[in-house]
Amino acid sequence: MATNRDYYEILGVSKSATPDEIKRAYRKLAMEHHPDKHGGDDAKFKEIGEAYETLKDDQKRAGYDQFGQAGASGNPFGGGAGGQQYTGGFGGAEGFDFSDILNQFMGGSGTGAQQRRPTRGRDLEVSVSIDFLEAIFGVQRDITLTLDEPCEHCHGNGAEPGKGTKQCPTCKGAGQVTRVQQTILGGIRQAVICPTCDGAGQIPVEVCTVCKGAGVMRRQKTTSIKIPAGIDDGMAVRITGAGAAIKNGKARGDLYVRVRVKSDKRFNRVDQTISSEAAVTMAAAALGTEIDVATVDGNVTVKIPAGTQSGKIFKLSGRGVPGVGGRSRGDHLVTVTVEIPTKLSARQKELLEAFAAEQDSHKKGFFKR
């Protein structure tokens, strides 16, 4: 296990490595040393996994950078794993947690951890409204946003082209400075992002005349979004790298498109099942008939057998909602409602009375036998 070795050294990455660089390094090494592979090394595989579990988590990584392995466990003062509580001391308070003190005095970091310069832009979220049928079969939409885009003049580095950069005089190129926070435990040193260079270690010799050194500018951008078939109300589509840019950033943020599906008075939907109602006359239900039922694919003819009762459900297989990701379609359930007339002509009333009398006669004859 990685008891005494540097986690960054184990994965073969620098201490300034981005999350994506750490992930790529881990995957490569894990495949190389997997114990199920010929020539694999179980101990090495576990060591790689331990290093990655710490460095992939921003909070654990920050604690590790500041205090080593003890900091990665969430307890820089030794003892048990993260969240370890201590009883007694400090006036005999029970259930005392050192992280509470650090959260109070270190701006919520919980470990006095080194702050990190952002390595990717902000994620953005927008909402888009689509029709019921568009949700069933998918649709393409263009989304226009106003967001941070790299400055076209300086290509995002904030420096006037051709002028270059120089070492930051505040941090001497380190990208961070150290400050001391006074707590009830005494002075705690904390590494923070350099306020002059924003963690880059370099500043422009001459700032960009267009973006004034920001590296980004607010502009409108139109992105074409493919909303997949089968999406449901409230779901979101994630478009990687379509979010905001950042100065000197290697990766943009992501764009999340929250989908709102309009209702359709003809249909109801629950997951992949569509349901609707179809009305038939009393005579048609008794004698049997065929009716046209509206579905998302168009009208479908449904045979109604003689003697169908109100509330009878007919299943149209494969006429429902496709599963997101290409799964097979659900079903469409049609509930038949038998209409009872509220107004009758004289002739209709006469015929129904004759029908009722015949039924009564039939029932009386049945009971006599």
Q: Pick the closest to residue 296 from 323, 327, 326, 275 (CA basis).
A: 275
Boundary-marking domain end, from 217, 244, 260? 260
Q: Pick the closest to residue 177 from 191, 188, 166, 187 (CA basis).
A: 191
Phi, psi angles (nearest 5°) of residue 148: -75, 120
Does residue 234 belong to any structural domain of this protein? Answer: yes
Does residue 1 belong to any structural domain of this protein? Answer: no
Q: Give the H/E segment covering residue 255.
A: strand 255-261
Boundary-marking domain end, from 212, 236, 260? 260
What is the model's pLDDT at position 317?
94
Q: Pick the closest to residue 217 from 172, 294, 155, 265 (CA basis).
A: 155
Whole-prediction pTM? 0.58
Contacts of residue 107, defined as CB under 8 A and 6 or more positions apart, other chains included, come to none
SS3 274: strand
Contacts of residue 18, defined as CB under 8 A and 6 or more positions apart, other chains included, come to 119, 120, 250, 251
Residue with tokens 């905001």: 244
User: Is the same domain home to 241 and 291?
Assistant: no
Boundary-marking domain end, from 260, 278, 305? 260
* CATH classification of the domain holding 317: 2.60.260.20
Angle at 16 between CA 150 and CA 51, to 5 degrees: 130
User: Is the same domain home to 255 and 284?
Assistant: no
What is the model's pLDDT at position 366?
52
Q: Pick the closest to residue 339 from 280, 278, 266 (CA basis).
A: 280
Is there a contact between 276 and 267 (Cβ–Cβ < 8 Å)? yes
Residue 347 structural domain: 268-356
> Residues 18-31, buried b or exposed e (16+ Cβ, 10 A)?
eeebbeebbeebbe
Distance CA 249, CA 79 (A): 38
User: Is the same domain home to 293 and 211?
Assistant: no
User: Is the same domain home to 133 and 251?
Assistant: yes
Contacts of residue 367, defined as CB under 8 A and 6 or more positions apart, other chains included, come to none
Does residue 171 belong to any structural domain of this protein? Answer: yes
Does residue 365 belong to any structural domain of this protein? Answer: no
- DSSP H helical ranges for the chain: 7-11, 19-33, 42-55, 58-67, 69-72, 98-105, 132-137, 282-287, 346-368
Distance CA 9, CA 51 (A): 9
Does residue 197 belong to any structural domain of this protein? Answer: yes
What is the model's pLDDT at position 92?
35
User: Is the same domain home to 279 and 253?
Assistant: no
Does residue 361 belong to any structural domain of this protein? Answer: no
Contacts of residue 202, defined as CB under 8 A and 6 or more positions apart, other chains included, come to 165, 166, 167, 168, 173
User: Is the same domain home to 129 and 254?
Assistant: yes
Q: At 40, list the tokens.
A: 């694999």
Does residue 100 belong to any structural domain of this protein? Answer: yes
User: Is the same domain home to 206 and 331?
Assistant: no
Distance CA 344, CA 254 (A): 65
- Look at the alpha carbons of 24, 25, 27, 31 in this order and tell me if their dihedral is positive or negative: positive
Is there a contact between 239 and 175 (Cβ–Cβ < 8 Å)? no
* CATH classification of the domain holding 91: 1.10.287.110
3-state SS, 170-193, equals CCCCCCEEEEEEEECCEEEEEEEE
What is the model's pLDDT at position 66?
66
Contacts of residue 21, defined as CB under 8 A and 6 or more positions apart, other chains included, come to 13
User: Is the same domain home to 136 and 228?
Assistant: yes
Distance CA 310, CA 278 (A): 10
User: Is the same domain home to 275 and 251?
Assistant: no
Distance CA 332, CA 299 (A): 12
User: Is the same domain home to 237 and 347?
Assistant: no
* CATH classification of the domain holding 253: 2.10.230.10
Task: Please tell me the total count of domains within the chain.
Answer: 3
Q: Give the H/E segment covering residue 110.
A: none
User: Is the same domain home to 136 and 254?
Assistant: yes
User: Is the same domain home to 161 and 89?
Assistant: no
Does residue 333 belong to any structural domain of this protein? Answer: yes
Q: What is the pLDDT along the chain (369 residues), one digit of tens a residue?
A: 444 578 888 999 988 888 888 988 988 888 888 776 677 788 888 889 888 988 988 878 877 776 566 555 554 444 433 333 333 333 333 333 344 444 444 444 444 445 555 678 889 999 999 999 999 999 999 999 999 999 999 888 888 998 888 999 999 988 888 888 776 666 777 888 888 887 888 889 999 999 988 889 999 999 999 999 999 999 999 998 899 998 877 788 999 999 999 999 999 999 999 999 999 999 999 999 999 999 999 999 999 999 999 999 999 999 999 987 667 899 999 999 999 888 888 988 888 888 888 777 766 555 454
